Structure 1
Amino acid sequence: MKNKYLKGAHLSERKFKEILRLFADDLTATQIANISGVSRVTINSYLKKLRHQIARYCETLHPVPAHVVVCSPSVETHADNDSDTLVAVKPGVSKLVKPVIFGISKTQDRLHTEILPDVSRSMIHAATRGRSVLETLEATERLRRFSGVVDLGQYRLYRLGNSFSDVKGAPLMDDIDAFWGLTKHRLAKFKGLNRNTAYLHLKECEYRFNHRNEDLYAVLLELLKAYPLTLS
């Protein structure tokens, strides 16, 4: 079946556009499946491929080549059957679960995010207090690139104060706070935890925020015209 946005699909282009519009409206996989009449398994598969494409696009715009990290948990916490969801680990649920920590930076009119697997909570606390004892640590040096760092385990944004305004003089932290507000709202809709998809959800939030003043459905169509999804 011909579908220029999804190669090798047994799904009409019209039906795929319907799914894409529901995704742009930020509905969950369950909601999209119920409305579109397409199975939940198929929807999850398509959304995962779409998020991978979004992540790859965001990577091309990152000012510094970022190390792409897929977080694999050493200890599993309770999760529902949705393999494509993410919420933060609540403090005290399990101290054995390594927290997902990511940095937020801004260049021109875009925010960028990067998961920081080698940054610990203690390092963030030290950086926010301006302790020079950590200056020799490579991971701490990386923190200097970011204006904010988020610990998803604590659901908390730490302001590093590396810069307070962008090149136009607008308050930088206003955008950082707005992005974190959007991310918290989106992640709170999901139930359960899947650390393996943390990176994909983070990049989706980044993409949505950077296109917040545009028609996201139209933006996604343009992205998939240039880089179609494939089922192979």
Structure 2
Amino acid sequence: MGTVSENRDELLARLMSSEEEARKFLLHKALGDRKPFCPRCREHKLYNLNGDRYRCSSCKYTFQDFSGRWINNGGLSAREWVRLIQMFAEDHTAHAISLDLELSYNATYKAITALRFAILAQAIDAQQLLSPETGLHKHLKNKKLTGVPSKKTTGSIPVFGIMEKNGWVFIDLMQNITAESVFHFNHNFHLKLVRHGSIIHTDRYQKYDSLILCGDDSLPLDYIRKYPDVTPHIEISGGEFWQFARQRFKRYKGISPHRFPLYLKELEFRFNNRSKDLFDLLTSYICKIVPDVD
């Protein structure tokens, strides 16, 4: 754990000096001053086993310090996690992080995906976003990330509303609006659409500054380009967030609609915490227990 007088550079240097220091730091983020407890049933009476393992006296679950937590995904060492979180907080790409850590791109991307899930899990609408409404629940099984579902997975494409107010942005999953509805609003009510790759956003809609979605081949994406009155210069009311997000959207290539909420919630998190220490927040989030999903 860091002391009050220890600045960020000093803390990172100490954590990267040894695996033990990094592990102690992350374990403190997970437990604070509490003793270990069962991540399944929260029982505190445990039996110590060989290999730094525990067995719950109540549900008999055998686990280690980070079992059932987001950080238990990816197979990274504690020092690798610290460095990855630092670079992610500084908004480096997965490619740059993989080169720095000398990890495979797949291993790096899986760890970053765990971070994105951890961010989303702290949102006030996390329960809704981890439900069948988005399909993200399919990535989780027994508190572990299971990888990317088949591209053939069918389901509705989620649509989100972006609302910026008093320096904060709120990104809501729209309950009764489908991707097809957005095209209907464009065709029949002249709601302007702009496309950035597979990402589509609109002009103002009701109380929202914009609607946004990530399309796929099931949508007539080329249809948007055929309208000469649609330009890439829609000014979204209260557009500080849009200016913040626009350059980041350019990085998002090959995103599927059901993974898009992870990226939106990351942007919401970064924007709303832009004056805070993201490293500290992210280490807290990644060490939290993965919630149960249906």
TM-score, with length taken from structure 1? 0.59
- Structure 1 SS opposite 2:124: helix
Q: Residues 50 and 229 of structure 1 are in contact (CA less than 8 Å); yes or no, is this contact kept in structure 2?
A: no
Per-residue CA shift, 1:195-232, capped at 9, x if unaligned?
2311111111111111112222222123335x1569xx
Equivalent residues of 1:147, 1:159 under 8 A apart: no
Tell me which of 102, 108, 124 is aligned to 1:59. 124
- Deviations along 1:49-98, whole A, 9 cap, x unmatched? 11111112123489xx6775249xxxxxxxxxxx7xxxxxxxxxxxxxx9
Distance in 2 of aligned mates of 1:184 and 1:211: 17
Q: Does 1:111 align with 2:202?
A: no
Structure 2 CA distance for partners of 1:13 and 1:185, relative to 1, 3 Å: same
* The structure with more radius of gyration: 2
Contact 1:105 1:113 in 2 (8 A): yes
CA contact (8 A) 1:148 1:159 kept: no
What displacement does 1:158 show?
A: 6.5
Could you tell me the TM-score, scaled by structure 2's length? 0.48
Runs of 5+ unmatched residues, structure 2 = 1-18, 31-70, 137-147, 149-155, 193-204, 215-220, 225-230
Aligned match for 1:218, one of 255, 258, 280: 280
When residues 120 and 60 of structure 1 are mapped into structure 2, their CA distance, relative to the original with a 3 A threshold, is: closer
1:41 alignment partner, one of 106, 116, 119? 106
Alpha-carbon distance between aligned partners in 1 of 2:86 and 2:182, rounded to the nearest angstrom: 38
Residue in 2 that maps onto 1:14: 79
Asked if residue 102 in structure 1 is aligned to residue 178 in structure 2, the reply is no
Matched-pair contact (CA < 8 Å) for 2:74–2:107: no
Give secondary structure in 2 for the equivalent of 1:22. Answer: helix
Q: Given the alignment of the two structures, is residue 123 of structure 1 paired with residue 185 of structure 2, yes or no? A: yes
Task: Compute the RMSD of aligned alpha carbons.
Answer: 3.8
Closer/same/farther in 2, CA of residues 43 and 145 from structure 1, 3 Å limit: same
Q: Structure 1: which amino acid aligns with 2:124?
A: E
**Percent of aligned pairs with the same amino acid:** 19
Indicate the residue corresponding to 1:138 in structure 2.
none
